[in-house]
Structure 1
């Protein structure tokens, strides 16, 4: 009979893991996390505790040790099979042993085994990893401590077996988590934000380059811990030269100095202002069952799939005329709106939007591999580079297969990936973007999907950067061996990292430089950065280990995509590099055996799976949430119009096309008569509602203009008569409507400018193409009507 004392799972089994203490150290844009996991066996039998948990997919695990009483054991990195055999042998002989290994399916899932923990004994496990911090669209550096591990869907027929995860709802996790961070930078720290509750930021010096912050009390394990760190002048290039390990052999990776150069190429504004008007845009949307979860706890009515629908609306309205597009959706199967990509026009855009509005999370599992294969099997369209946008909550078990497929097709497209919600696989989202020469974004907590996606669309519309090369200018006697894969994508304002091993034979010179050359819109350009060769000593060897991790991942990917060719040779290289650097890989594991305990542990081991939290909606919310309400309409009623009137308007709008001003007025009269809503006739301006932006966007035509009708008037908070009466006599109705829409966006929705900026640029271009003579008069009249003070120049006119 099991003695059920101590912490319990929902199955009433004891949990030997008591607490996790995580301490983060951030230096500029590199982070080191040290986690201490405290175990205690309160049962009357020896235990083996098994914990499967997530880590950032691009992290380099570089230390694993255990403290039992006064005994400290540091794990070694060994070939995975050898480590597993040593662990099993140790347990069978009654010794204590500890094993940490990466999942075969995904590099962001690890399993930790604590074996032969005797009754009444405690153990502290120390786990350390280093990682680069990704730059977000708003220049924040993102660190994420994954706390949530949702069950990963394993498609039938995929390679490998699914990772066995013991998980419980976040509210039932029976251990605690404490988290603190120390941030230092050459530049002042502006602020630190988080989706979790934080204690106030504490600056430790006068120039605000050193600060600490802690997680607030009562963390519920219902979300990953995300920090967004903002520096002043974040786009300054930088370089860190780190001394080698004194005990390592000179000439080896760990024995020589390593430099990490962080570059932010800035492109000429004249080139960047001319966004591309061509391209094939393919949108791949997850419609698995998990997409019906709420985006966050505060707005349970906004589900992941409804947010994806709203995002597709913005994307489709923002595409340039003359490009090509298609929309795929997937679950256990996949669907596409068109058999192949079609030219973007009013007709194809409307057809796509009608189908997008009906999208639900009703396609079952998360099988992303097959739709990707289908997309890649389609012939590319000449002079229209393919841009793939992938939206998923990332709960897949065949991550490596997916990223390998993207890499295989990297020459024919760019991939922009979006991880939606808590527990999204960082290995999948980052891996697809990295292998597809694109950009990754994560949408968690109270984040809105739309601004992040529109940022990536701006990247996709940027002129393609070609012929990228990197050259070094170093003093005599100094040479650099680049360790990073070649740079294949550069975006305006985004960071590129380069690692290089330095050989310093004899040189008193202290300065070097690195130059990135590339071709932008047919013009040769370059970005150069000078740095100091003086190297810093870092006992953690952070830069070396990140460089080793970069090389290991590159070799692993090569090994998978070149199966049967040099297979064993590649594995051997990975194992050697992993052992030499002390950084984990898919072919190695950390193993520690306590050989000094003096006596063997007696009795059969009881296995205890430590549960991992998974994210789920509140049970009460689910019960009260009618399925038909799960998707938020693009046309939710603004308070100034009344729900009944808007429904009438939409019903009538779907029956007829309103193109002439006379029909507009008659149409409005019919709506008034049917809805019987008198308050909409009041002349006072009304503050636009939260969802009015999407309503306005939904009314825009593919070429960029708006029609002057009752629906537009209602969104603007006016009646049809008011809008018609204020129109200057000489102006075209569509020009007037479009200028009103632009004034409204600039006057009421500047906080969401990232979302509408591209479609506003399209509208401004359309207005200028009409050669209207009374634009200034229109802007003045529009400001008077809407109660704004927007300048003509601000509208791009």
Structure 2
């Protein structure tokens, strides 16, 4: 993977401890100056408050954009904006409406903030009209489950940085969907929303980070607390433990706490009734014991050797793959596929499945030992090939993907693979300190397998024991859920596909029930020997209010994945309704907070995109040649800073450089396959402008009208159409006719709009509004707007 680096402008060189990608003044870095994470862990769930502090040291209003991660299983349930003496609670709305409300507020000179989900674990925060010298604080409230890694451990993982992702596909024309450094493509239509600029190493820590976790085992037999990647302090008081991150850490890797437990119940069912008493949420945990009878398997191992896997990740990936090959038996068949932008196989093992003999396993391990990191992450072809190899087998079929998951085309991959995975179990092994857990969990869920995350070589041996259990024969398959005295709400169970049970790997099932919180649930299936299998639990009433939001997030994830893979019509509306009913953010909704106070005169605020850290363990970007310079135009790009005062280094941004492949290594890459950005040192590619033909005076006038129309809130549309648009159209029609120009489309539109009444119903108004936008867009020659980037292609 190669990257784009923005060259330094011709100005004073930065200090020796500086770097590229930060926006800086003598008052500090912009715009984000602090991030706080406070988790309250109770049993196997966590309530989290995330606090983001933004400030503006410039002499003009500022709009800050921050692309940041959150745990992919966490439910975002609230947003609050605090500025000066104002506290504004956010409202969850349908996404298009929330974006319109935000844009209208900024145009009207009001403070506003909006939080949007772009991936299950990648979000965008925009905070607008931050006044000079002002500080704005954003508070997000989350509820998160602690997933089991085994029957005796659970993990609290909080990501702190969005790592650069490989962006395949051909660039799209038209306006970008976001302000990141990558171009939108046909494979990743929102690439510019998931590719923040990146600081070069050596820049002083721009963000104060504080992480605190208060841990209450809530009766569970807690035996240990381990921090995987950070130095922490611990304080214990009356059975509760507080863990604090040491000061001075950077937002460059996941924060991970592992909680160890003594052996406990093999099945547990909690029932949390709603306040109304009419419905409630159940949570069933099943901990299978014992080993399954081995059976012949077909196993395809897919190993990512792309540039982002350089360093310790490549070493760990080779070791993990070799350990998996070594566990195969003579009656098993297997294939090993390593990939970057090409697929390679072990020498002498052919193109199909081979028996798991000592010779064949030796050849495979020999091949793995030669692999190093190079090239781009073209993941679709090797996964498709793996599915093809496993398509016609009557055996237990297993596909194992070992990768850091750093790709942007997750939806494309899942939509393509889902129909090919019928009967194939998919396990994913994520290796990184800032892993793309959202994608790897989604792929494993669709493949009815499990995801194992490895953040260091020290963790690998422990993780491999879990992986060995998961690729072994399952304890039970064909699982179904049965209720006894408890009425389950139809279609509410998450996960939708229960998959299989593996030795020592817990299964968690959540859903909604109606009526009294009493009764039992049983999970039934077929054991490895063909005999019936069942595990049963009787419900215990719980007062855990987070249970419903955690279930809602899991249910929404299932619905979103069904939508991605081509689910039934009406699914989008069901997702929106579920999100709004339970107050949990999803890809079709957004939290928006709008201050009623007008603080500016409505001028466009200066826009800055917060640069993020290079993930820990990634290769450092190359130094920028000093002969290369960049200049800023009078109208800077949205992610550029205001004109710099004398002596201030103008900012630049650069994603971290992966181990760069040689030209020969990339020679076989298809033309549509490209890393994000151009090669280091070439300078930034210009932002692609919207394709609009040369406009006449009338077309330009109506372009301005069209842009204004898109800012009008829904409840003000009829007043604008009758009070402002009709007179404007009347004037333009008269002037065009005076010059013998054809004004028929505009005259017809004017007459149609005049027939509206202030009392017309909203559906009639919205239909007319849509027609107005279309007629004006046709007249001005504007490129038709793309489908909203959060919706799948039609």
Is this a same-fold pair by TM over 0.5? yes
Three-state SS of the structure 2 residue aligned to 1:429 is: helix
Q: Which residue of 2 aligns with 1:607?
A: 607
- 1-structure distance, mates of 2:399, 2:166: 22
Q: Is 1:320 paired with 2:353? A: no
Q: Which residue of 2 aligns with 1:225?
A: 255
Q: Aligned in 2, Cα 1:259/1:330: closer, same or farther, shift over 3 Å? A: same
Alignment of 1:273-284 (within 5 A): 274-276=293-295, 278-284=296-302
- 1-structure distance, mates of 2:619, 2:526: 55
- Give CA-to-partner distance per residue, 1:605-633, whole Å, 9 cap, x none: 1111112222254879999xxx99xxxxx
Q: Which residue of 1 aligns with 2:360?
A: 348
Q: Which residue of 2 aligns with 1:90?
A: 105
- Give CA-to-partner distance per residue, 1:579-630, whole Å, 9 cap, x none: 11111111111111101x254356441111112222254879999xxx99xx
Q: How many residues align?
A: 581
Alignment check: 8 A CA contact 2:549 2:584 kept:
yes
- 2-structure distance, mates of 1:517, 1:292: 44
- 2-structure distance, mates of 1:382, 1:441: 26
Uncovered stretches (5+) of structure 1, i.e. residues with no partner: 294-302, 629-797
Alignment check: 8 A CA contact 2:284 2:509 kept:
yes
- 2-structure distance, mates of 1:336, 1:603: 59
> How far does residue 40 in structure 1 lie from its aligned partner after superposition?
1.8
Alignment check: 8 A CA contact 2:233 2:245 kept:
no
Alignment check: 8 A CA contact 1:265 1:493 kept:
yes
> How far does residue 140 in structure 1 lie from its aligned partner after superposition?
1.9
Q: Aligned in 2, Cα 1:193/1:342: closer, same or farther, shift over 3 Å? A: same
Alignment check: 8 A CA contact 1:41 1:120 kept:
yes
- Give CA-to-partner distance per residue, 1:2-50, whole Å, 9 cap, x none: 9x9xx99744434122211110011211122111111221211110000
- 2-structure distance, mates of 1:99, 1:621: 32
Three-state SS of the structure 2 residue aligned to 1:110 is: strand
- Give CA-to-partner distance per residue, 1:394-443, whole Å, 9 cap, x none: 11101222234443333221111111111110111111211111111111
Q: Aligned in 2, Cα 1:18/1:234: closer, same or farther, shift over 3 Å? A: farther
Three-state SS of the structure 2 residue aligned to 1:125 is: strand
Alignment of 1:45-444 (within 5 A): 45-103=60-118, 106-137=119-150, 139-156=152-169, 157-162=186-191, 163-169=194-200, 172=203, 173-184=205-216, 185-205=218-238, 208=239, 210-234=240-264, 236-245=266-275, 256-266=279-289, 269=290, 272=291, 274-276=293-295, 278-293=296-311, 303-337=312-346, 338-362=350-374, 364-378=375-389, 380=391, 382-444=393-455
Alignment of 1:507-586 (within 5 A): 511-520=518-527, 521-532=529-540, 534-536=541-543, 541-562=545-566, 565-566=568-569, 569-586=570-587
Indicate the RMSD between aligned Cα atoms, in angstroms: 2.8
Three-state SS of the structure 2 residue aligned to 1:160 is: coil
Using CA pairs below 8 Å that are at least 6 residues apart, which structure has the higher relative contact order? 2
> How far does residue 211 in structure 1 lie from its aligned partner after superposition?
1.9
- 2-structure distance, mates of 1:114, 1:147: 19
Q: Aligned in 2, Cα 1:354/1:190: closer, same or farther, shift over 3 Å? A: closer
Q: Aligned in 2, Cα 1:556/1:329: closer, same or farther, shift over 3 Å? A: same
Q: Aligned in 2, Cα 1:69/1:450: closer, same or farther, shift over 3 Å? A: same
Higher helix share: 1
Structure with max Cα Rg:
1
> How far does residue 380 in structure 1 lie from its aligned partner after superposition?
3.5
Q: Which residue of 1 aligns with 2:589?
A: 588
- 2-structure distance, mates of 1:123, 1:361: 42
Q: Which residue, 446, 470, 482 being the options, matches 1:471?
A: 482
> How far does residue 99 in structure 1 lie from its aligned partner after superposition?
0.7
- 1-structure distance, mates of 2:108, 2:388: 55
Q: Aligned in 2, Cα 1:9/1:48: closer, same or farther, shift over 3 Å? A: farther
Three-state SS of the structure 2 residue aligned to 1:613 is: coil
Three-state SS of the structure 1 residue aligned to 2:199 is: strand
Q: Aligned in 2, Cα 1:258/1:458: closer, same or farther, shift over 3 Å? A: closer
Uncovered stretches (5+) of structure 2, i.e. residues with no partner: 1-8, 170-185, 624-658, 661-794
Alignment check: 8 A CA contact 1:192 1:229 kept:
yes
Three-state SS of the structure 2 residue aligned to 1:22 is: strand
Q: Aligned in 2, Cα 1:379/1:290: closer, same or farther, shift over 3 Å? A: closer
- Give CA-to-partner distance per residue, 1:737-786, whole Å, 9 cap, x none: xxxxxxxxxxxxxxxxxxxxxxxxxxxxxxxxxxxxxxxxxxxxxxxxxx
Q: Which residue of 2 aligns with 1:483?
A: 493
- 1-structure distance, mates of 2:523, 2:140: 37
TM-score (norm 2): 0.69
- 1-structure distance, mates of 2:461, 2:146: 22
Alignment check: 8 A CA contact 1:170 1:615 kept:
no
- 2-structure distance, mates of 1:199, 1:454: 27
> How far does residue 166 in structure 1 lie from its aligned partner after superposition?
1.7
Three-state SS of the structure 1 residue aligned to 2:422 is: helix
> How far does residue 464 in structure 1 lie from its aligned partner after superposition?
5.8
Alignment check: 8 A CA contact 1:134 1:142 kept:
yes
- 2-structure distance, mates of 1:585, 1:620: 34
